[in-house]
Structure 1
Amino acid sequence: MLLFFRSFFKSKFGLAITFAFLGLIAFAFASSDVANTGTFGGVAGGERVAVVGDDRIDSAELVQSANSSLDRLRQENPALSMPAFIAQGGLEEVLDQLIARYSISTYAEKFGLRAGDNLINSEIRQIGVFRGADGNFSADAYNQALAAQGLSDAIVRQDIGSGLLAQQMLVPASFGATIPRSLAARYARLFKERRQGAIGFLPSGAFFPDDDPTAAQLQAYYQENRGNFIRPERRVIRYALFGEDAIEAAIVPTDAEIAARYQENRAQYAASETRSFTQLIVPTQAAAQSIRQRVAGGASFEAVAQEAGFRASTLEQQSRAEIADEASPAVAQAYFDAASGAITEPTRSALGWHVARVDAVDTAQGRSLAQVRDELATTIREEKRVRALVDLAAQIEERIDEGETLTAIAQDLGLDVRNTRPVTADGGIYGTQGETIAEEIEPVLATAFQMEESQPQVGEVARGESFAVFEAAAITASAAAPLAEIREDVVTNWKLAQGSQAARAAADRVLARLRGGATMARALAAEDVTVPAAEQIDLTREDLARQAEQRIPPPLALLFSMAQGTSKRLEATNDLGWFVVDLDAIELGEMADDDPLIAQAQSQLGDTVGQEYTDQLVIAMRETMGVERNQTAIDAVRRQLTGER
């Protein structure tokens, strides 16, 4: 991703809408719902929504990018719907980013810049999703990933090429940007700045109209603000769980199966002997015989080995077969013929002449079929259970493919069919506070929100333990709630809006009194309604920085951006009222010439300046190439995506 696209990152939807550039190619293949349809409502897939220079941006590309952006946002907010995404300006931002992409590419090509096949191939090879099991690029993995997303090699190469051209054009513009140390010192000194003032709040509730709106007023307000009343998509999920109960009769081990398993593993249950040794391997038989004689005469095995210039090694819990495999059958014979504590006869292998002391002998009694029957039965039962569950899931999938309904399959298998209440994509029960879907069906929730209605599937809900056959029994699309169903909420919002307008007028009156010399307390008290007392502020920017992990209140942020002796108003969110901010005094703190804050400010502001250069260059490219929007086509795409007619 081109990190220097500051304007992209500052937008409401951040990285989600910058689908066009290099880094998000990999994301495109992780997504599961990339639109690839050719006709959108009344808009043909090839109809342009914008022209940049001589290049067209088709409606198909806009829809595809909007869907991909929504998919990305849904990873953090599963309940986000396309109407809500568009109501918040998502479609416009997606189109703006597409226009920026095309502007950069066409400008670069106009002046002879290009991204060659070898460079694009290099970028493709670096994308992890295109690698095989050995970690290297796999043509099969590449083709499968493209096929899964309905993309062509040409589309992917064009997208990567656009990103590479953007790098060639924009990196030089931002690279090495810096500001003078004297300017950085001025900004750094702001960190020591202290501000004193007051913040007043005029709540909308204090200015509510006395009467409810008329039917006409309410209808007009509702139509103008439909986006505020959008309900999320919700689905009723019908499902039936099946696990061990459904296959109990088929997984009981038979006597024949237990006996056969015993015979297959007879060696495992036979009597066995393992031994531990201290051994020495020497080049000649004479040397081995000399060592054996000295140890047999009472000398220390380790001391004799050391005197001869060798080092003894130990072998723990070795079977005859292991010694035969590592040395030779003759060595194994010698090692296992000797008594515990004895020295073995020198015996030759490919490594040399072996001589060893038998340190320990451990024997295990054999176990009969009767002794291991329960152990074998448990193992066989578990193996049959796992196989039977997988087989049953496969059989149900085959029956679904053949057209059988979930209800018919459940009745045939004796499964209990259940229905959830309407649930949203984040697992919440629609219309409740804090109530969520049952844990037993939660693992398939994401899949259930990608399915068509009454198209059952099978999914694992507890790994190795249980499965579910499930379907979306009813789908209610995301849309604005009918006015009749939410009349009280709309009336409340209308009153808030009206109260906010009155609060704004009151804020203007308070500002006039402040500019006339009144204090904040007196300016607020002059209102005919009772409002909260003003909050006195006496903070430094350093105090503000300590709140970095918390959201700094907007009126406080405004106070630290105003000129001394000024007053301003600020609207609260959701029509809740208006703030009035009054800045009385600014005191600049002292800062030494070698304060490390200066170097930090110089570095950070250099990055900011570089990003600003990039932003301005992109704007200049757009103006140079020329951009024409087709509002009719854009509106048609918007209607199709929101389901409007």
Structure 2
Amino acid sequence: MIQFFRRFFQSKLGIPLTLAFLALIAFAFASSDVANTGTFGGIAGGDRVAVVGGQKIDSADLVISARDALDRVRQQNPNMSMDAFIAQGGLDDVLDQMIDRTAIAEYARRHGLRAGDNLINSEIISIPAFRGASGEFDSTTFRQVLAARGISESALRSDLSQGLLAQQLLVPVAFGAQAPDKLATRYAALLKERRRGSIAMLPAQAFAPEGTPDQATLEAFYADNRADFIRPERRVIRYAVFGPENLDTRIEPTAAEIGARYEEDSARYAARETRRLSQLIVPTQEAAGTIRERVEAGGSLEAAAREAGFDVAELGPISRSELAAQSSADVARAVFAAERGAIATPARSGLGWHVVRVDAIERTPARSLDQVRGEIAETLRAENRQRALADLAANIEEQLTDGVSLSDMAQQLDIDVRTTRPLLASGEVYGAPGETATEVLGPALETAFQMTEGEPQLAEIARGETYLIFEASRIVESAAAPLAEIRDDVIAAWRRDRGAAEARAAADRVLARLKEGTSLAAALREEETRLPPAEPVDLTRQQLAAFEGRFPPPLALLFSMAQGTAKKLEAPEDSGWYVVDLDEIETGTVASDDPLLAQTKRELGPAIGSEYADQLRVALRKELGVERNATAIDAVRKQLLGQN
């Protein structure tokens, strides 16, 4: 057959057909390529958001990475919405990270670095999320976790491969970085440097206008600052709780059921004898007999055991059958034939010969059906209740799946439906700081913020006792609030903004006076608006380091300025402007044997290593070349915001 096709394609008729077939394939690929350049995973703008050294970063990967990043942020801030995440630059940060990883991986591949399947497999096996109940890697758990996160195995392996290549490339670059002695000495001396100056605060509130802006001004301000007025997603939850009190089935056990359970557990209610024992095991029958004779002659079992080099173990309370299972039937028979305080006749098990003293005998008489009727009835009642509740819950879940509403379900069960006030994902009541959702909603709250509106679900709150039917009855997506609803808030923000602008102008005037030789205190007094006095500053860098990175921004600016200069700095949240005036710098000195020098060298090493890694990332981007598809990035942004 193969020879036939070969001869055919070489014939006069076959050659034209072959060429026509190849032309058709080429046209199909070209058409597909043209079609793909006009689509962006279903969004206009192309199927890639960036290209790094010929390696594409797809729009779908950016979408997944952005959502994963938002999930990580929500672990610290549950109320963070996608709108706020993107408004704060989250999407751009995620794309930058993806570009860096792709550049590192591509450079590593070009220079012979590899992350093979075995290495990737070892990374997957070490991830705790993929371990089963035994604590070992479980393939079923692995697939379930990936499916739950919407990640394919190939995507995971690609991501791990990039991470491993990054380790191979960046770790050697940053590892072992050390600061030269001269550099360390200079930095150590800086820690002892002292700076004197003053800081003035020009509060925006002091310059804020008193009146109300006209509508056009207010609308323009609102449009320019919409991101500042984004509200988190809120959901109104309707729910109903049911439990054993809502069962309409019979759970009270009958006399026949009680009798049957009594017969089934007859061994439990039969007469029972248990014993507390002291035992030692010796290798030979002669040794066991000698020890028994010494004890019966008036010695103690413990003393005889010590002299023979053995230890006595205590057992019990233990029944005959339990002892037989632990040792042998012969040992159990001998022990349960002995009286209290006596040494049983030595008997043998697989471990050796047992010398056993009976320390105590506990006998429990048999219990009749009448004596245990109440106990059995309570057990059966609890079992019936749990079974009936499970059946009811299964029936309810089936009805909910078939489209029965929460209200109809509550009517069937004769239970009340309750409605919450708008809730945030954290469980807080929107607009009521400190107030949270009712405790019964706690286990279902996360699910409630992933549900579709008006589709009730069932949740088990207390195992076998309490169930919850709940739904998201109203979902208010995260978005900027309408101006009409937050008019007062926008006016207040406008006043702060105008006040901050005036405070900045005042700061510029103060700086101009300082350049003319006026003191900061005098420059502040020349302002028409009454301002707080300047605060003097006299600190060393070591004292500043005691703030552990939480020092005020004006102090950080003071320690980065040149002597005899003054600068302005914007205060957070439009609260005003600082004017920082540096009068004097007193240079610090450090001796060669000062412990501060060694400490500085240790601390500078990782910082220098990190700088090496950062510079390498920048160089890799430059060498490989990075092209961003602004249209595709904007399309992803719209998709994440639900604007398509």
Q: TM-score range by the shorter chain?
A: 0.7 to 0.9
How far, CA to CA, are the matches of 2:95 and 2:351 in structure 1?
75
Answer with 178-187 or 223-232: which moved more.
Answer: 178-187
Answer with 204-213 or 601-610: which moved more.
Answer: 204-213
- Offset at 1:289? 5.1
How far, CA to CA, are the matches of 2:62 and 2:302 in structure 1?
81
| Structure 1 counterpart of 2:31 | none
How far, CA to CA, are the matches of 2:85 and 2:43 in structure 1?
20
| Structure 2 counterpart of 1:568 | 567
Does the 8 Å contact 1:178/1:602 carry over to 2?
A: yes
Kindly provide the CA deviation profile for residues 429-459 of structure 1, in whole angstroms up to 9, marking residues without a partner as x: 2222322211221221111111111111111
Kindly provide the CA deviation profile for residues 199-227 of structure 1, in whole angstroms up to 9, marking residues without a partner as x: 10111122123543222222111111110
| Structure 2 counterpart of 1:399 | 399
Amino acid at match of 2:612: Y
- Offset at 1:376? 2.9
How far, CA to CA, are the matches of 1:461 and 1:58 in structure 2?
42
- Shift in alpha-carbon separation, 1:242–1:211, aligned structure 2, 3 A: same
Q: TM-score, normalization: structure 1?
A: 0.87
| Structure 2 counterpart of 1:586 | 585
How far, CA to CA, are the matches of 1:392 and 1:117 in structure 2?
49
Answer with 373-382 or 529-538: which moved more.
Answer: 373-382
- Shift in alpha-carbon separation, 1:78–1:312, aligned structure 2, 3 A: closer
**1:16-55 → structure 2 map (5 Å cutoff):** 43-44=43-44, 47-55=47-55
State the secondary structure of the residue aligned to 1:43: coil
Q: Does 1:223 align with 2:255?
A: no
How far, CA to CA, are the matches of 1:327 and 1:41 in structure 2?
71
Does the 8 Å contact 1:43/1:59 carry over to 2?
A: no
Kindly provide the CA deviation profile for residues 253-303 of structure 1, in whole angstroms up to 9, marking residues without a partner as x: 333333333323222222222233445555665665565555445455555
How far, CA to CA, are the matches of 1:317 and 1:639 in structure 2?
72
- Shift in alpha-carbon separation, 1:257–1:76, aligned structure 2, 3 A: farther
Amino acid at match of 1:180: P
| Structure 2 counterpart of 1:481 | 481
| Alignment root-mean-square deviation, CA | 2.7
Q: Does 1:253 align with 2:291?
A: no
Amino acid at match of 2:482: P
- Offset at 1:331? 3.4
Answer with 471-480 or 54-63: which moved more.
Answer: 54-63
How far, CA to CA, are the matches of 1:512 and 1:363 in structure 2?
101
Does the 8 Å contact 2:40/2:632 carry over to 1?
A: no
Q: Does 1:387 align with 2:387?
A: yes
How far, CA to CA, are the matches of 2:443 and 2:605 in structure 1?
47
State the secondary structure of the residue aligned to 1:484: coil
Does the 8 Å contact 2:41/2:59 carry over to 1?
A: no
State the secondary structure of the residue aligned to 2:593: coil
How far, CA to CA, are the matches of 1:444 and 1:277 in structure 2?
53
How far, CA to CA, are the matches of 1:602 and 1:301 in structure 2?
69
Does the 8 Å contact 2:258/2:373 carry over to 1?
A: yes
- Offset at 1:543? 2.5
Amino acid at match of 2:446: A
Answer with 384-393 or 56-65: which moved more.
Answer: 384-393
- Offset at 1:361? 2.4
Amino acid at match of 1:635: D
| Structure 1 counterpart of 2:426 | 426
- Offset at 1:528? 0.4
- Shift in alpha-carbon separation, 1:289–1:71, aligned structure 2, 3 A: closer
| Structure 2 counterpart of 1:235 | 235
Does the 8 Å contact 1:46/1:58 carry over to 2?
A: no
- Shift in alpha-carbon separation, 1:569–1:249, aligned structure 2, 3 A: same
Kindly provide the CA deviation profile for residues 480-532 of structure 1, in whole angstroms up to 9, marking residues without a partner as x: 11112222221221222121111111101111222222222111111001111
Does the 8 Å contact 1:46/1:60 carry over to 2?
A: no
| Structure 1 counterpart of 2:102 | 102
State the secondary structure of the residue aligned to 1:133: coil
- Offset at 1:128? 2.2
**1:222-371 → structure 2 map (5 Å cutoff):** 222-247=222-247, 249-279=249-279, 281=281, 292=292, 295-302=295-302, 313-371=313-371
Tell me, which stretches of 5 or more residues in structure 2 are unaligned?
1-37
| Structure 2 counterpart of 1:529 | 529
| Structure 2 counterpart of 1:454 | 454
Does the 8 Å contact 2:41/2:47 carry over to 1?
A: no
How far, CA to CA, are the matches of 1:285 and 1:212 in structure 2?
107
- Offset at 1:408? 1.6
Answer with 192-201 or 521-530: which moved more.
Answer: 192-201
How far, CA to CA, are the matches of 1:333 and 1:44 in structure 2?
87
Answer with 413-422 or 43-52: which moved more.
Answer: 43-52
- Offset at 1:352? 5.0
How far, CA to CA, are the matches of 1:182 and 1:574 in structure 2?
41
- Shift in alpha-carbon separation, 1:434–1:354, aligned structure 2, 3 A: closer
Does the 8 Å contact 2:45/2:635 carry over to 1?
A: no
Q: Does 1:636 align with 2:635?
A: yes
State the secondary structure of the residue aligned to 2:637: helix
Q: Does 1:116 align with 2:87?
A: no
Does the 8 Å contact 1:41/1:636 carry over to 2?
A: no
Q: TM-score, normalization: structure 2?
A: 0.87
**1:74-89 → structure 2 map (5 Å cutoff):** 74-89=74-89
- Offset at 1:72? 1.4
- Offset at 1:349? 4.7
State the secondary structure of the residue aligned to 1:216: helix
| Structure 2 counterpart of 1:597 | 596
State the secondary structure of the residue aligned to 2:568: strand
Does the 8 Å contact 1:276/1:358 carry over to 2?
A: yes
- Offset at 1:39? 8.3
| Structure 1 counterpart of 2:512 | 512
- Shift in alpha-carbon separation, 1:494–1:310, aligned structure 2, 3 A: closer
Answer with 59-68 or 540-549: which moved more.
Answer: 540-549
Does the 8 Å contact 2:242/2:415 carry over to 1?
A: yes
- Shift in alpha-carbon separation, 1:54–1:258, aligned structure 2, 3 A: same
- Shift in alpha-carbon separation, 1:313–1:493, aligned structure 2, 3 A: closer
How far, CA to CA, are the matches of 2:70 and 2:192 in structure 1?
43
State the secondary structure of the residue aligned to 1:547: coil
- Shift in alpha-carbon separation, 1:438–1:343, aligned structure 2, 3 A: closer
Amino acid at match of 2:106: T
Amino acid at match of 1:581: V
How far, CA to CA, are the matches of 2:215 and 2:304 in structure 1?
110
Does the 8 Å contact 2:249/2:388 carry over to 1?
A: no
- Shift in alpha-carbon separation, 1:261–1:52, aligned structure 2, 3 A: same
How far, CA to CA, are the matches of 1:630 and 1:264 in structure 2?
75
- Offset at 1:45? 8.8
Q: Does 1:611 align with 2:607?
A: no
Does the 8 Å contact 1:276/1:316 carry over to 2?
A: yes
How far, CA to CA, are the matches of 2:607 and 2:183 in structure 1?
14
Kindly provide the CA deviation profile for residues 177-210 of structure 1, in whole angstroms up to 9, marking residues without a partner as x: 2111221122122222322211101111221235
Kindly provide the CA deviation profile for residues 28-71 of structure 1, in whole angstroms up to 9, marking residues without a partner as x: xxxxxxxxxx9889715962222223222222222222111111
- Shift in alpha-carbon separation, 1:394–1:40, aligned structure 2, 3 A: farther
State the secondary structure of the residue aligned to 1:386: helix
State the secondary structure of the residue aligned to 1:455: coil
How far, CA to CA, are the matches of 2:586 and 2:555 in structure 1?
17
- Offset at 1:383? 3.2
| Structure 1 counterpart of 2:621 | 622
- Shift in alpha-carbon separation, 1:563–1:402, aligned structure 2, 3 A: same
Kindly provide the CA deviation profile for residues 293-318 of structure 1, in whole angstroms up to 9, marking residues without a partner as x: 55445455555566667665554433
How far, CA to CA, are the matches of 1:405 and 1:429 in structure 2?
25
Q: Percent identity?
A: 58
| Structure 2 counterpart of 1:170 | 170
How far, CA to CA, are the matches of 2:604 and 2:291 in structure 1?
80
How far, CA to CA, are the matches of 1:275 and 1:331 in structure 2?
13
- Shift in alpha-carbon separation, 1:318–1:517, aligned structure 2, 3 A: same
Does the 8 Å contact 2:236/2:421 carry over to 1?
A: yes
Does the 8 Å contact 2:331/2:349 carry over to 1?
A: yes
Answer with 274-283 or 516-525: which moved more.
Answer: 274-283
